Copies of this chain bind each other. A is one copy, B any other.
Amino acid sequence: MQLSNSSKYAIRILAYMADQKDSKLMNATELAEALYIPYKFLTKIMTELVKVGLVVSIRGREGGYKFEKKTSEIMVSDILDIFNDSIKDEQCVLGIGFCNGLCKCALHDQWMEPKLLLQKMFRESSLEDIAGRGCKI
């Protein structure tokens, strides 16, 4: 596809958090162990999510992370944007060559179709959609 590990981890983390029944504070150790993400790498990612305003961090003892926004308002594309993984450029999906509106390779139009589908999903699928199907991702 390929998304960066940061994007994938971030989606896993946030979907996992969204899936928790009680919206208690979750700490880094807990998340890292539950999701098999290296602890230090996880905290790095969490800091990004805090900076961008998706989650809030409470520092110090008994601290942890919780959502800043409602999970139904956080779209997959918001998360991908953070790590520059969105597919929002004007070029054809594969980015093979020099295609543009005027001059395009023969596959350009065909590739537009799945591209648009993916973009649509990225924009329209919220964390709430991803989480809570009896399956931890």
Contacts and interface: CB of A to CB of B under 8 A. Distances in A.
Interface of A: 1-3, 8, 11-12, 15, 76, 87, 93-99, 103-107, 110-111, 113-115, 117-118, 121, 125, 129-133, 135-137
A12 to B, nearest CB: 5
Nearest to A12: B97
A129 B110 CA distance: 11
A1 to B, nearest CB: 5
A105 B1 contact: no
Copies in the complex: 2
Contacts of A125: 106-107, 110
Given A107-B125, A114-B118, A135-B105, A8 B96 contact: yes
A113 B105 contact: no
- Identify the 3 closest CB pairs spanning chains A and B, nearest first: A97-B137, A114-B114, A105-B137
Given A1-B87, A94-B11, A133 B106 contact: yes
Nearest to A135: B103
Given A3-B94, A12-B97, 15 more contacts: A1-B93, A2-B2, A3-B96, A8-B94, A8-B95, A8-B97, A11-B94, A12-B96, A15-B105, A96-B137, A97-B136, A104-B133, A106-B133, A111-B118, A114-B115
